[in-house]
């Protein structure tokens, strides 16, 4: 008996009803995923399922030295092969600054195959001169630099004028993007209040004060925060601290494939529902 196989495809419009999503390497609508220690097999599954939708992967906080070297090398290699920029958490660099081992930190970053770093001062204080040096030194080594603005202390708010000035100087020194601190919780810090709701007045002030919004990445780990920023800035907003299990969900919202952002669909409404 002759076997037959049928090849089915989704109608093209169903992949992206918004008609706006870029393929990688993207300059718009980048997604940064926070890896807090998932295993190698789960990591492989993540990239198999959602690698096309991940632009930046951050090994959270100071976790990078805690991995067995073969494991972290394998994760970095897999991510790079999937066109993903891989960076350690900013807390690790802050620790290296505090302990005066930045040259050793940078050597190991390069040896492991990381393709970028995060320069932050969420826990320590970095003077402007040192911040400039860190950005320029890492850039000179061929690393992409993602800086971060904001403190991790609960209740910390954004000083809009200071943020605008910091972002301008970071970008002038060679930073790829500037991240707005939101922590992994998204609660009581930066743009978000103690319930995790977006402070709309603060967001409006930032949008009016910061000229390079296309190079700002917003840490927004919670779904409602992601929805609020997509609705305010559009599906091309850069979003970070996304949990691995939320990557496909976020991509569906960017494309208008979830009811929360259904209005993003760039197709005429029919007179009837199917």
In a domain, 114, yes or no: yes
In a domain, 186, yes or no: yes
Say whether pLDDT at 7 is over 80.
no
pTM: 0.91
Chain centroid to Cα 265, Å, comes to: 24
Chain centroid to Cα 113, Å, comes to: 19
d(CA 240, CA 220): 6
In a domain, 28, yes or no: yes
In a domain, 14, yes or no: no
Predicted local confidence at residue 269, as pLDDT: 55
In a domain, 272, yes or no: no
Of 250, 254, 252, 222, nearest to 236 by C-alpha is 254
Predicted local confidence at residue 274, as pLDDT: 44
CB atoms within 10 A of CB 140: 9
Strand order in the sheet with 238-242: 85-88, 56-59, 31-35, 238-242, 216-219, 177-180, 144-149, 116-119
Q: Who has greater pLDDT, 28 or 199? A: 28
* CATH code of the domain covering residue 28: 3.20.20.70
96: Cβ–Cβ under 8 A, 6 or more apart, which residues? 102, 104, 105
Give tens-digit pLDDT for 186-245: 787 788 888 888 888 888 888 888 888 899 999 999 999 999 999 999 999 999 999 999
Computed over every residue of the chain, the mean pLDDT equals 91
Predicted local confidence at residue 4, as pLDDT: 55
**Kind of pairing, strands 238-242 and 216-219?**
parallel
Predicted local confidence at residue 86, as pLDDT: 98
Total domains, the chain: 1
d(CA 272, CA 46): 38
217: Cβ–Cβ under 8 A, 6 or more apart, which residues? 30, 32, 146, 177, 178, 179, 180, 238, 239, 240
In a domain, 221, yes or no: yes
In a domain, 3, yes or no: no
User: Could you list the residue range(s) of the whole structural domain that residue 84 is in?
Assistant: 23-263
Say whether pLDDT at 271 is over 60.
no
Say whether pLDDT at 273 is over 60.
no
In a domain, 273, yes or no: no
The answer to whether 54 touches 238, Cβ cutoff 8 Å, is no
pLDDT-based confidence at residue 116 (cuts at 50, 70, 90): very high
pLDDT-based confidence at residue 122 (cuts at 50, 70, 90): confident
Chain centroid to Cα 213, Å, comes to: 14
d(CA 14, CA 187): 34
């Amino acid at each position: 008996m002759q076997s037959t196989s049928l090849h089915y495809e989704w109608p093209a419009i169903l992949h992206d009803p918004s008609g706006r999503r870029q393929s990688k390497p993207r300059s718009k609508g980048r997604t940064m995923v926070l890896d807090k220690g998932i295993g190698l097999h789960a990591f492989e599954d993540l990239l198999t399922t959602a690698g096309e939708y991940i632009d930046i992967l951050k090994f959270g906080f100071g976790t990078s030295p805690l991995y067995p070297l073969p494991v972290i090398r394998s994760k970095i290699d897999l991510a790079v092969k999937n066109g993903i920029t891989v960076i350690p958490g900013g807390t690790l660099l802050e620790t290296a600054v505090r302990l005066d081992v930045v040259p050793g930190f940078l050597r190991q970053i390069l040896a492991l195959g990381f393709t970028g770093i995060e320069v932050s001062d969420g826990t320590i204080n970095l003077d402007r001169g040192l911040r400039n040096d860190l950005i320029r030194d890492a850039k000179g080594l061929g690393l992409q630099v993602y800086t971060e603005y904001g403190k991790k202390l609960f209740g910390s708010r954004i000083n809009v004028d200071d943020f605008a000035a910091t972002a301008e100087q970071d970008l002038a020194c060679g930073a790829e993007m500037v991240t707005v601190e939101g922590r992994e919780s998204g609660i009581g810090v930066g743009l978000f209040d103690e319930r995790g709701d977006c402070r709309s007045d603060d967001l409006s002030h930032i949008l009016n004060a910061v000229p390079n919004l296309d190079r700002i990445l917003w840490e927004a780990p919670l779904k409602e925060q992601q929805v609020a920023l997509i609705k305010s800035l559009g599906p091309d907003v850069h979003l970070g601290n996304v949990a691995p299990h939320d990557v496909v969900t976020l991509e569906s919202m960017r494309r208008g494939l979830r009811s929360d952002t259904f209005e993003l669909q760039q197709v005429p409404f029919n007179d009837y529902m199917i």
